[in-house]
Amino acid sequence: MTFKEIAARDIHNVFLNPGEFAEEHKVNGRPMPVQVDEHELLERDKSRAGVHQDGLYKSRRLIFVAASDFGPRPSIGSLLDLDGRKYKIADCTEEAGMFSMELGAVRS
């Protein structure tokens, strides 16, 4: 197997395995394994120190989902429903078949 094939297999067998890192959540009304990573969100904030970012969020999440489970890559600024709570997608990147999405619930 190539590295890419191994990585693709590991998405559900390791990274998004509920017995390892992930938990099942409802994303836009569909159940799927999701990894929520608060530590990585803090690390990203450290690397952005001094960089202006628009918007104030009362709740933020960083989630990882399989692109094959989610569907087409969402656009930044679009809304996402995570377990019945609405979030705005602040950032979305794709790597090795997974989406990394930074979410923020906009303060009114």
Q: Mind listing the pLDDT tens digit for each residue in 26-69? A: 999 999 999 998 766 766 665 555 444 555 556 788 999 999 99
Q: CATH code for 3-106?
A: 2.40.10
Q: Residue 102 in contact with residue 77, Cβ under 8 Å? A: no
For residues 84 and 48, the model is more confident at 84
Compute the average pLDDT of residues 81-93.
94
Q: How far apart, in Å, are the Cα atoms of 85 and each of 47, 73, 94?
A: 28, 20, 23
